[in-house]
A and B are shown apart, each in its own frame.
Chain A
Amino acid sequence: MITLKEAMSKSKEELAEIRDELFKKAKESGLNAYIGFETHGEGVPILIKDNIQVHGWSITGGSNILQGYIAPYNATVIENMLKNGFAPAGRANMDEFAMGSTTETSFYGPTLNPHDTSRVPGGSSGGSAAAVAGGEAIAALGSDTGGSIRQPAAYCGVVGFKPTYGRVSRFGLAAYASSLDQIGPITQNVEDAAILYDAIKGHDSKDSTSYEFENEPIYGNIDADRKLTIAVIDNYIEVASEDVKKAHDEAIKALEEAGHTIIHKNMSNTKYDIATYYIVATAEAATNLARYDGVRYGRRCENPKNLEDLYFRSRSEGFGEEVKRRILLGNFVLSSGYYDAYYLKAQKVRHLIRDEFKKIFAEADLILSPVAPSVAPKLGELQDPLEMYKSDMYTIAINLAGLPAISLPINKNSDGMPVGLQLIADAFEEKKLFDGASSLERAVAYSK
């Protein structure tokens, strides 16, 4: 499989041929990573998660309720990609409305992990990660609300990058939890992630949470020889699986040999992050998903008796169980009598979470952390919702604090399943993050 960097030197004709080959492979593989084979414009083909608007495509957020919806405009990231020589090619499977950690909540059925098809690829950007890992896409876009880029990347042995909140426009991203969502790249290596990130980032007047900054490219300026101070979180590692512990030890050794300084820290119990996340995210989701009412977009129930029946049946038939659960929870934490104790309390805790990171970044350039407690689980293994939520323990604090983080493969366990770790930087320190990630990538020399 050619890399994104290599693909950029190909002619239009060669790229069209490559795209056709990727589509053919995806149709034959049975991974169910693609749920559509639409194209738009010419350029290096990039697989697009099914929640990012591409004009004229049926963008459905992996949901029944959006069947029949056609995107009336391009998301800003798509406009930016087109300007930089990249062309959207195919829709990637995902958990319904990005709510899930396995891609099993998709209306289109689960995506399979290319390393072991009895296992999930992770989620919610599972289609994007499985396609890149399976050689069915050169690179892909995903979205990360609580780990949805980094965790599937780790489960599939590829690179996934979640930018600082505000770096990449959310205009045209189907909103799940607006204060946490960020679009980012899933690629074969760190350099490719920088290339695609450079292409999509930038201030956008259409997104009121878009940050104005000097748009310096990362690609071409990465310094893998830069010596950094990297913090490891001892109490995070204590509760991880043996596979993750082994990868973590290996990464520390490689980083030390590469001349970086390792310091040891502890952070608050991740149970507080999980609690905060599942209050804030469900509250925002309940509000954002109120727009799907069967009137304006997508699918409407058949023969509604009256308007109320139209709303209730379109939504009850259109949403899957996990989405319904989160809407119910969100409306609970926002409802009169519970709002202060749940929603406002969680908003306050976000200050504590961010302050804790700030304290570590006063001493360290980057943090090295697990992405998930174990390798990719088997299909159907995570049935209990709360158990699934707990598996997000290492990724959600980053979203709650708005920080950038990159997940990259370190090694494989004895079953041949990839183990990834993430590097985390302070807000807007993407350059430093890519310097460190490049160094770690070179030092561990992961082989597919």
Chain B
Amino acid sequence: MHIDEEILKKLEKLSHLRIDESKKEEVIGQLSEILEYVENLKELDTEHLDSFFSTLPGNTPVREDIPSNDPSIPKEILENAPQSEDDFFIVPAIIE
């Protein structure tokens, strides 16, 4: 798989990341090389296999839905957030 500028642009958008113009060529080269390598999996026959995989025996355990909360945790998170007020995180205005 060769990554081109178009695909990189799409990946930057999906990832919420911007790659510096000066680095783009290098990143495209690295991603293409890595993807070409991982395509070796095509050599394996996986036709009959399940795409669900878990290393744990049995299913994920279920439990009663009993609410619990330590109110000090959200308080500390808000106190240490980049910008917060009362019970809210502050971000730049969304609606002008």
Q: Is this pair of chains taken from one and the same complex?
A: yes
Query: Is B40 touching A205 in the complex (CB atoms < 8 A)?
Result: no
Question: A278-B38, A328-B11 known; A68 and B63 CB under 8 Å?
Answer: no
Tell me if A219 counts as interface (CB < 8 A to partner B).
no
Query: Is A351 touching B53 in the complex (CB atoms < 8 A)?
Result: yes
Query: Is A272 touching B81 in the complex (CB atoms < 8 A)?
Result: no
Assembled-state Cα–Cα distance A60/B60 (Å): 30
Query: Is A275 touching B27 in the complex (CB atoms < 8 A)?
Result: no
Question: A354-B55, A402-B56 known; A349 and B46 CB under 8 Å?
Answer: yes
Q: List 26 A-B contacts (CB under 8 A).
A: A69-B80, A73-B73, A208-B60, A272-B41, A295-B89, A296-B77, A306-B93, A307-B94, A312-B18, A315-B17, A325-B30, A325-B31, A327-B17, A328-B17, A328-B27, A329-B34, A331-B15, A332-B7, A332-B31, A335-B11, A342-B38, A344-B51, A348-B49, A349-B49, A386-B33, A402-B55
Assembled-state Cα–Cα distance A389/B31 (Å): 13
Total number of A residues with any Cβ neighbor in B under 8 Å: 68
Assembled-state Cα–Cα distance A279/B42 (Å): 13
Q: Which residue of A lies closest to B19 (CB)?
A: A324
Query: Is B53 touching A209 in the complex (CB atoms < 8 A)?
Result: no
Assembled-state Cα–Cα distance A313/B46 (Å): 41
Scan A283-325; emit 1 where CB is below 8 A from any B CB, else 0. Answer: 0001000100111111110001111011111011001000011
Q: Please name all residues of chain B whose beta carbon is closer than 8 Å to the beta carbon of A73 when the two chains form the complex.
A: 70, 73
Question: A212-B61, A300-B82 known; A275 and B91 CB under 8 Å?
Answer: no
Q: Please name all residues of chain A whose beta carbon is closer than 8 Å to the beta carbon of B12 when the two chains form the complex.
A: 328
Tell me if A86 counts as interface (CB < 8 A to partner B).
no
A333 to chain B, nearest CB (A): 8
Query: Is A298 touching B61 in the complex (CB atoms < 8 A)?
Result: no
Q: Please name all residues of chain A whose beta carbon is closer than 8 Å to the beta carbon of B1 when the two chains form the complex.
A: 338
Q: Please name all residues of chain A whose beta carbon is closer than 8 Å to the beta carbon of B15 when the two chains form the complex.
A: 286, 315, 324, 327-328, 331
